[in-house]
Amino acid sequence: MKKKIAIILGSIVGILLIGLIVAGNYFYSEGIKRGTEVELHQEPESVNAQANETARSIIEEAETWYKDQELDELEILSYDNLRLKAGFFDNEAQTGKAVILAHGYRGNRDHMDDLVKFYFDQGFDVLLPDARGHGESEGDYIGYGWHDRLDYVKWIDLMIEEYGAEQLLLHGNSMGASLVLMTSGEELPDEVKGIIADSGYTTVKEELKHQLKHLYHLPSFPILDVTSVITKVRAGYFFGEASALEQVKKNTRPLFLIHGDADELVPTDMAYELYEAAGGEKELWIVPNAGHTKAYSIATEEFQTRLQEFIDKTISNE
C-alpha cells in the first residue's frame, strides 16, 4: 500500500514538474525568445492626456525629418561574438557632442525617431543601436538591458575612439531606459556626461512579475522562477540579477529620470525606487496624465525644456 501511494505521489510530482517546465519554456518563448509577437499589458486610450496641436506638430516634423535622412551603418562585435548594428547620424557641426539612444522592448532604432532631430539640431552626433535580439542586430534572445549594458560600453568606446566624441549622453525609453541605467553602474569613461531614462523598470524580475499578473492573472511563483532558470540556461542570465536598481547605486553621472504617473506597463512606483537608490546628482520628473513613454508626446514642449536644462547642466558648449 505504501509503495502504491509513493508511486502515485511520485507520478503527481513528475507531472507537476513536467508541467512547470512546459510552462517555463512557453513563457521563455513569449517573453525572451527573439521574434515572437507578444501582447504586453497595455493601457486604455483614456489613460493619456491629449497632446496639443503644437506638440503634435513638433513630433510629426521630427518623424518626417528622420524618414528623409540617410543613416550610416555602424557595427560592433559583442563580448559573445554577436554582430550588433546601429544607425549613425554624423553631424557636420563637429562639436564633439554625441548621444546614444536606446529603444524599447521588441522595438528597433526607428522607434527613437522623434528624438533624433532634437539632438541633431543642437550639434549632437546621434547613434541608434539595435539592441541584441532586435532589428538588424544578431542574437536569438532579449536581454532586457542586462547583457546589453556591456554592448553599450562598446558603443561608447567606439564613439569616443573612432568618432571623436568628447561629451556623450545616454538616453533610453522603457527597456532602453533600464538599459542605460544598468550601463550607469559600469566603469565608464569620463566622456560620458549624463543619462536620461524614460519609463524604466527596476529589475527584470519585478517587471515580468507585473506582466504575469496583469496579462495572465497568475502568481509569479513558481512559474517565473522556473522561466528564470530556463533563461539562465538558454540566454545566460537570471531575471533577478538583471537589476537597474542595483546598478544605479553605483552611478556617478548626472541622472534624469522621467516617468508618467499613469504608466500601467511599468508601474510609476518603480521610478521612485530608482530615484531613491541612485547615486550621483539626480532629478525625477513625474509627468501628469502620461502613460508608458508618453511624456514626450503629450508634454512635448515642457519635455524639451527640461531636457535642454539637463543638457545645459551636463554638456559644455565651449
Angle between helices 204-211 and 223-235 (to 10 degrees): 130
Distances (CA, A) of 315 to 153, 253, 275, 308: 20, 12, 22, 10
Q: Read off the pLDDT of residues 2-21 as tens digits, 9 standing for 90 and up.
A: 555 545 554 444 444 555 56
Q: Read off the pLDDT of residues 19-75 as tens digits, 9 standing for 90 and up.
A: 556 656 687 888 899 976 655 555 555 556 677 888 899 999 999 999 999 999 999
Q: How far separated are the first and last CA of the chain, in Å rounded? A: 86
Q: What's residue 14's pLDDT?
A: 47
Q: Is 172 helix (H, G, I), strand (E, B) or coil?
A: strand
Q: Read off the pLDDT of residues 184-225 as tens digits, 9 standing for 90 and up.
A: 999 999 999 999 999 999 999 999 999 888 877 777 778 899
Q: What's residue 10's pLDDT?
A: 47
